[in-house]
Structure 1
Amino acid sequence: MSSSNPDLLDPLGFGIGIGNPFAQIPGQGLFADPLLDFGLDPDLYLPNQGAPPVSFIFVINELHIDFDGPEARNMGKPTDSWHNVLPPRNREQYSSETPGEVLRFFNGRITRASSERALYNWVRRDLSSEGHILCQSAAPAFFTTMYKQASVFSCNPHLPIIAAEDDVLVRPESRFHALQFLHTRPNAVSQISYRFDQPRAVPVPPLVTRPGPPLKYVAGAFPSWMPSLVPHTYSNPYSNEGASGGLAGEMAILLGLMAFHSSRSTLRGKSLNDVFLGKPGEPGGLWRDYQWFASEHPPGYPRSADDPPRGFLVYICYDPENTAGSTEKHLASLEWQGPLVLG
């Protein structure tokens, strides 16, 4: 299990520790108004009045597959029982990784993590080695502490989303799960979840799991984020359901779903930075103030079963510049106590 406590390890042999030399940044306000506008209590996101704002840093890296490379072509394409092509089970069939920019979530807003105070970058010795977010500042450089990670793939229109709570470049044999949701009552929030028999890097709060195992359809009707984040195939089939109350749960998977609004590198469209930060002149990215500002089908899904799966590694770390408001408790509350996406 990950921890917010400093851990002076050096897993890559760079002479760099995992830890946190920063003091908390004072005087940071809340973006509570959008929550109040929707009749939601900001204390769901900040459990105690006057508590520090909640934040984390993250990076999203696109994982590139090549089934036809010299070392990979004789391995065959992995498939399921219905002949859907799956992500590789052999490391040699991953050709490369395109690292994203390290970003910061700060109470509903996304910004670049790097500033004059500190620089953040993704580092990995090679494709088979563990990666880390490196922080360089006036203090000695260090690796930030991971909260969660997930590999999120879209395989084809018939198998739109699968996810593994791991880095498949390091452990390509990791177990994938179909997209599933816990249902909260009575507010009909759909909480993205792995199966209950899946060991978790960070345990799900017991009250969250009490209603029962996750389902393969969302809670509530007519969610505002369908099909732009979750495909129509996950619609609630029951006509007596009330309106959807939002989308929450496993944050790494949710960020991966958002990443599919970036276009493939060979096509024109939005980059990952455009998705999360917005283009010049825009008020921000597609996800801001707990609202999702897109309604169209993601352009980044594979178009057919003839296309290879497309996937991202999502890597979330505690924010070393906000130690009081970026703990396991704070981030778990953010995931499970209220919608991350309204509507």
Structure 2
Amino acid sequence: MYGVVILTLYCLKSPEVDFLNGLVTEEGQRGKSEMRLCGWKTSKHSSSRKGSTSSQPTPGFLFIANKLVINNPGRDDYLHLIPPSSPTYYRGEVPSKVMRYRNGEVSEAADWRWYRDASTLPASEGQLLRVDARGNCITDQYGQVYPADEYKTFGVAACNPLLPIMVTEHDPLVTRSNWELLRVFHPPSIPGLSQVITITSTMGPGPGPLLHVAGRNPAWIPGLLPLTYRAPRRDAPHSTGLGGELPIVLGLMALNAPPGSEMSNHSIDSVFLGHNRLWRHGAWTSPDAPRGHPPTASEDPKGFIVKVFFDPDNQYSTREDLHSFEWERAIVRD
């Protein structure tokens, strides 16, 4: 993918620092010099699976939910603060741990690490690279690193109590973003299922997307979607879950992270990892409204870049598997 020659066969493990526009974060990520030593020469691995797909377990994947650091927010037609469209109006990102979804549960994927220099914007695409127990990049006999293949990337943001959730396809630190209101598709073949989408999503046949969910009394409102997304009709079917674009669903979860210092993303661990994690066995367990939403209209939007990658260690992590996970069932069940 990239053509830079690797100068060494391992990455030097640096002290607990990370360079984000010249700032030291609290996350203990590596700096720019480590990225240069790691190189961008890649050894590609297929995400295809051989054999039958008939009776397979829950699909798996790797993902990150990096906090967006906004320098100069934009405004909509009504002067509400919204995420900026230009990458140069951000200050960068604060990476999360790399996480693995497998057999319906999330755990830390310590054998992978996110590498990107966001000190100059627009940023590069970045890579998720396999590392050893000491955090050094693993290379093959030719000095090529092992990247995970990306499935999808979305930006997800909460702006203020007066606005719905906003989303953008692709990475807002790399290209100009078209932030739009989060929409919900109601698949006629699965009554009560709500699928979160953008206007360009590849959902199945059915009516146009709406700004409310498909079913009554979902267990994940207000935890994942604001109360304004409730089904307006009393005769709506009972909710059967939340699906759709996988990075958007994960981004809605990430917005439940308690607010911390601007350059820290530690609090996201409480959402996905540990004994008190909020998403377990396919269900959302918190009845509370998200703690990461801006409480007033005068505060900057809060957002995340969510990237989903194929897991090369999971035979049920293919494009077909993840597409089925998004559009044929509930990612978050009721």
Do both share a fold (TM > 0.5)? yes
Residues 158-211 of structure 1 show CA distances to partners (whole Å, capped at 9, x for unaligned) of: 11310001110111x22122111111345310011111xx2x5xxx3xxx4211
Partner of residue 104, structure 1: 100
Contact 1:263 1:270 in 2 (8 A): no
Partner of residue 257, structure 1: 252
Residues 7-29 of structure 1 show CA distances to partners (whole Å, capped at 9, x for unaligned) of: xx2267724315238999xxxxx
Task: Say whether 1:89 aligns with 2:85.
Answer: yes
Partner of residue 319, structure 1: 311
Residues 232-253 of structure 1 show CA distances to partners (whole Å, capped at 9, x for unaligned) of: 0011111111211110111100
- Of structures 1 and 2, the one scoring higher in RCO (CA 8 A, sep 6+) is 1
CA RMSD of superposed structures (Å):
2.5
Partner of residue 132, structure 1: 127
Residues 58-93 of structure 1 show CA distances to partners (whole Å, capped at 9, x for unaligned) of: 0110011123xxxxxxxxx52111111111233332
Match of 2:166 among 158, 162, 166: 162
Match of 2:181 among 175, 178, 183: 178
Matched length: 285
Partner of residue 114, structure 2: 122
**SS of aligned partner of 1:252:** helix
**SS of aligned partner of 1:151:** strand
In structure 2, C-alpha distance between the alignment counterparts of 1:187 and 1:82, rounded to whole Å:
35
Partner of residue 221, structure 2: 226
Residues 282-329 of structure 1 show CA distances to partners (whole Å, capped at 9, x for unaligned) of: 2x521111111111000100111110011100000000112x311100
Task: Say whether 1:78 aligns with 2:69.
Answer: no
Contact 1:149 1:316 in 2 (8 A): yes
Contact 1:120 1:136 in 2 (8 A): yes
Q: Closer, same or farther in 2 for the Cα pair 1:160/1:139, shift >3 Å? A: same
**SS of aligned partner of 2:69:** strand
How far off its partner does 1:150 sit? 0.3
Q: Closer, same or farther in 2 for the Cα pair 1:251/1:15, shift >3 Å? A: closer
In structure 1, C-alpha distance between the alignment counterparts of 2:249 and 2:312, rounded to whole Å:
22
Task: Say whether 1:142 aligns with 2:166.
Answer: no
2:254 is aligned with what amino acid?
A
Contact 2:47 2:149 in 1 (8 A): no
In structure 2, C-alpha distance between the alignment counterparts of 1:11 and 1:233, rounded to whole Å:
48
How far off its partner does 1:212 sit? 1.7
Task: Say whether 1:54 aligns with 2:65.
Answer: no
Partner of residue 10, structure 2: none
Q: Percent identity?
A: 33
Moved more, 178-187 or 152-161: 178-187
Partner of residue 290, structure 2: 298
How far off its partner does 1:330 sit? 0.3
Consecutive unaligned residues in structure 1, runs of 5 or more: 1-8, 25-45, 68-76
**SS of aligned partner of 2:100:** strand
How far off its partner does 1:96 sit? 2.8
Match of 1:338 among 305, 308, 329: 329
Partner of residue 208, structure 2: 213
Q: Closer, same or farther in 2 for the Cα pair 1:121/1:162, shift >3 Å? A: same
How far off its partner does 1:53 sit? 5.0
How far off its partner does 1:125 sit? 2.4
Task: Say whether 1:287 aligns with 2:279.
Answer: yes
Match of 2:268 among 269, 272, 275: 272
**SS of aligned partner of 2:75:** coil
